[in-house]
């Protein structure tokens, strides 16, 4: 007996199949669907040809002027559906099954036909409203290269579904029991093949895939099958076998799977018609319905497919509102090959493409934010449209430029979405497409200017663009990782990748290292260490040193934290290690100071607040701190002079301000000391 999850499945009894409806009955239903719901003739007949009992459906619709249909609320309007039963051989699973989205190989990563079987063709594009039809018409159109393109996509989806979400055992014993959602979809070929229209799943692809596997049907052949006589003969043979008592287990499974319950979407009534410049269209409404279904079990899509689907919807909405062009939308979606991108005067560099995507999705412009909000809420009512989600959507699009093992891509997806810091989401910067050397030079100039100005937290747009552009190579090459958690992990630095990159863009050496990451990644080599001058660092044997996560975190700590210890004994190494020792000591002083304030006495109050501290000790410590503070001011001024724009000396106004700052601190110390005495 078939089993599902090791639990016996009680087979459903089988019964004889009805005859396939005559052409006249199907045509009559098609006429009513056109009249009642405004469908095209091709879409109406695809529905009529697939329905088991056209007469019953025609009667259920009633008067075309006020048709009966199930009303299904979605964000943006109401979908109209008809509950019925359809022939499994007259419908197809969606060859773009959303579960496969993260595993697809996009043209920007691999030229179609240049790689393995999984990149033989382009992924099928998003279904759109047919040309010339109203955006609210309840039918879809998909542009394909040829019949082989559809066959390839359908077989790829089938293999994925049967490997990851196979319902065959249950469906073999029970048939399809829960309705699949179907919509009339036209496949338009780039060659001379005539368009074909067929019922296609919007939801339920896994169930229909399993049914087709049991029936021995190749899904991609269904749209091109015109053999009514052959289908009728097949039904008669099955019924004869059943009535003679000769139907074995395989015959019974086929009898159960020939018909499937269905919700056929036939109409859409949007909200906001006449009051909004951008009312929701049918493709968006349909995706809303599907997305709401897959928020919860039995088998959720998972975060990867959800973000891929949301990212596609965001691009559609930005294009629909004319905030990006159709060429940009295809470029960001990864649908252009690198050659096509160059022909469109777009960069074929994945890192520069990444910057374009990040800025498009993090742009604080209210029109962009509104478009993203509409796109996301059309598919999910529980998503918080904050920086984290925007980073995740950008990451989904960025990684379409990478053809790698799915496991490594999933890891990169987790790390890369944490590589874009808060500054990325602010205004004041935009992609410039500058050559890497020019971008690094401009970033260093900004950093020098910021140093003279007192070390501003935001050096400038060039350092920010450099940081965003370098995130992809650092993460993809495995040179920068995310927080790996606490279990069996000795990683002391728990910063996110974006925080490490943020620290890097605040120092000359960090800027040089970000630039080197771009150069080495573009050259297809491991990313090498560089010093503050941008020269490649070599070891004692003359070998070039390669960066890794531990090195980057140790070499570019947060302000005030110590750098990693250096094993050399050069003056530069000794200076570096002495600076690190001071930073560690300052951390120790801060920790000891905090611990002292927490020591409680017998009454539960902090002892230091009850007893105080010896004034002589306090004075000695304050004098020491004041002395160090004066030196810190001088050292800081020297650093600005050495690393600032004016390498000869600091600006007079700045020098006077620093001297005044030191005098004020000294005066304040004296006043506090006299008051204490």
3-class SS string, 570-626: CHHHHHHHHHHHHHHHHHHHHHHHHHHHHCECCCCCEHHHHHCCCHHHHHHHHHHHH
User: Do 545 and 539 meet the contact criterion of CB atoms below 8 Å apart?
Assistant: yes
- Please list the residues that pair with 265 across neighbouring strands: 81
In a domain? residue 519: no
Inter-residue contact 361 to 372 (CB < 8 Å): yes
Looking at the fold, whether 76 and 114 belong to one and the same domain comes out as: yes
Residues 601, 617, single domain; the answer is: no
- The DSSP bridge partners found for residue 301 are none
pTM for the predicted model, two decimal places: 0.72
Domain around 661: 613-677
Q: Based on the domain organization, do 256 and 199 belong to the same domain?
A: yes
Note whether 214 and 257 are same-domain residues: yes
User: Same domain for 569 and 644?
Assistant: no
> Can you tell me the distance from the alpha carbon of 217 to that of 154, in angstroms, rounded to the nearest whole number?
12
Answer yes or no: is 528 within a domain: no
Does one domain contain both 594 and 626?
A: no
Distance CA 323, CA 253 (A): 52
- Euclidean distance between CA atoms 231 and 167, whole angstroms: 25
> Does 218 reside within a domain?
yes
Same-domain status, 601 and 634: no
- The pLDDT assigned to 560 comes to 72
Is residue 511 included in any domain, yes or no? no
User: What pLDDT score was predicted for residue 452?
Assistant: 66
Beta strand 180-189 pairing with 196-203: antiparallel
- Same domain for 620 and 595, yes or no, is no
Q: Could you identify the residue written with the tokens 């728990």?
A: 494
From the list 269, 177, 173, the residue with the least C-alpha distance to 214 is 173
Return the SS3 of 183. Answer: strand
pLDDT < 70 stretches in the chain: 1-10, 273-277, 292-302, 380-383, 452-457, 483-492, 562, 644-677
CA distance 4 to 250: 17
Looking at the structure, tell me whether residues 651 and 590 fall in a common domain: no
pLDDT at position 4: 38
Report pLDDT for 673.
38
Task: Kindly give, in sequence order, each residue whose CB lies less than 8 Å from that of residue 608, ignoring residues fewer than 6 positions away.
Answer: 596, 597, 599
Q: Residue 117 domain-assigned?
A: yes
Non-local CB neighbours of 350 within 8 Å, separated by 6+ positions = 108, 398, 401, 402, 472
Type and span of the H or E element at 80: strand 77-87
Q: Do 174 and 114 sit in the same domain of this protein?
A: yes
Q: Domain count of the chain?
A: 3
Question: Is residue 407 in some structural domain?
Answer: no
Contact between residue 288 and residue 76 where contact means Cβ atoms under 8 Å apart: yes
pLDDT tens digit string along 434-443?
Answer: 999 999 999 9
Structure confidence by residue, pLDDT tens digits, 324-346 = 999 999 999 999 999 999 999 99
Domain boundary among 550, 573, 606: 606
Q: Is residue 657 located within the same domain as residue 583?
A: no
118 in a structural domain: yes
Residue 430's alpha-carbon distances to 345, 354, 473, in angstroms, are: 17, 12, 20
| Whether residue 25 is found in the same domain as residue 60 | yes
Does the residue 156 lie in any domain?
yes
């Amino acid at each position: 007996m078939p089993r599902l999850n090791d639990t016996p499945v009680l087979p459903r009894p089988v019964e004889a199949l009805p005859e396939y409806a005559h052409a006249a009955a199907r045509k009559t239903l098609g006429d009513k669907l056109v009249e009642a719901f405004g469908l095209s003739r091709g879409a109406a007949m695809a529905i009529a040809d697939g329905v088991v009992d056209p007469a019953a459906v025609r009667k259920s619709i009633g008067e075309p002027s006020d048709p009966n249909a199930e009303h299904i609320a979605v964000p943006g309007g109401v979908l109209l559906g008809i509950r019925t039963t359809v022939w499994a051989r007259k419908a197809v699973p969606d060859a773009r099954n959303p579960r496969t989205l993260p595993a697809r190989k996009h043209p920007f990563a691999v030229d179609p036909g240049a790689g393995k079987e999984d990149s033989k063709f382009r992924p099928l594009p998003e279904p759109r409203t047919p040309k010339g039809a109203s955006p609210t018409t309840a039918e879809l159109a998909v542009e394909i290269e040829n019949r082989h393109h559809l066959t390839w996509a359908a077989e790829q989806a089938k293999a994925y579904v049967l490997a990851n979400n196979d319902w065959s055992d249950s469906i073999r014993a029970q048939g399809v029991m829960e309705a699949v959602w179907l919509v009339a979809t036209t496949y338009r070929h780039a060659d001379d093949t005539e368009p074909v229209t067929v019922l296609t799943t919007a939801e339920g692809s896994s169930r229909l895939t399993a049914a087709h596997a049991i029936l021995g049907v190749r899904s991609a052949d269904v749209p091109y099958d015109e053999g009514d006589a052959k289908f009728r003969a097949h039904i008669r043979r099955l019924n004869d076998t059943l009535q003679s008592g000769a139907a074995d287990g395989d015959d019974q499974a086929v009898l159960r799977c020939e018909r499937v319950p269905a919700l056929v979407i036939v109409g859409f009534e949007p909200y906001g018609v006449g009051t909004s410049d951008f009312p929701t269209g049918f493709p968006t409404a349909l995706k809303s319905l599907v997305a709401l279904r897959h928020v919860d079990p039995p088998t959720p899509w998972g975060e990867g497919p959800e973000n891929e689907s949301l990212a596609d919807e965001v691009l559609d909405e930005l294009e629909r509102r004319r905030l990006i062009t159709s060429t940009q939308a295809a470029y960001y979606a990864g649908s252009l090959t690198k050659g096509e991108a160059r022909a469109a005067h777009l960069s074929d560099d994945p890192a520069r493409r990444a910057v374009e995507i990040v800025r498009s999705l993090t742009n604080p412009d209210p029109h962009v934010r509104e478009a993203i909000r509409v796109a996301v809420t059309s598919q999910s009512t529980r998503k918080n449209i904050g920086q984290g989600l925007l980073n995740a959507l950008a990451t989904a699009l960025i990684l379409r430029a990478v053809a790698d093992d799915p496991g490594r891509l999933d890891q990169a997806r987790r790390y890369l979405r944490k590589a874009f810091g808060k500054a990325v989401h602010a205004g004041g910067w935009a992609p410039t497409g500058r050559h890497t050397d020019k971008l690094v030079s401009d970033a260093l100039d900004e950093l020098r200017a910021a140093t003279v100005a007192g070390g501003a937290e935001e050096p400038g747009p060039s350092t920010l663009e450099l940081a965003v552009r370098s995130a992809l190579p650092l993460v993809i090459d495995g040179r920068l990782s995310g927080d790996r958690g606490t279990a069996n992990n000795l990683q002391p630095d728990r910063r996110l990748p974006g925080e490490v990159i943020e620290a890097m863009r605040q120092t000359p050496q960090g800027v040089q290292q970000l630039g080197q990451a771009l150069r080495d990644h573009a050259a297809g080599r491991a990313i090498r260490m560089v010093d503050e001058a941008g020269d490649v660092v070599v070891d004692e044997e003359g070998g070039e040193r390669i960066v890794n996560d531990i090195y980057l975190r140790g070499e570019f700590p947060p302000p005030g934290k110590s750098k990693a210890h250096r094993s050399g004994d050069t003056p530069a190494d000794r200076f570096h290690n002495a600076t690190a020792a001071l930073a560690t000591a300052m951390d120790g002083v801060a920790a000891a100071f905090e611990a002292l304030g927490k020591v409680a006495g017998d009454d539960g109050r902090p002892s230091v607040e009850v007893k105080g501290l010896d004034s002589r000790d306090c004075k000695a410590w304050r004098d020491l701190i004041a002395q160090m503070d004066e030196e810190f001011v001088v050292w800081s001024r020297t650093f600005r002079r050495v690393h600032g724009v004016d390498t000869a000396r600091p600006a007079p106004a700045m020098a006077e301000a620093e001297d005044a700052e030191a005098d004020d601190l000294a005066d304040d110390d004296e006043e506090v000391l006299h008051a204490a005495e």
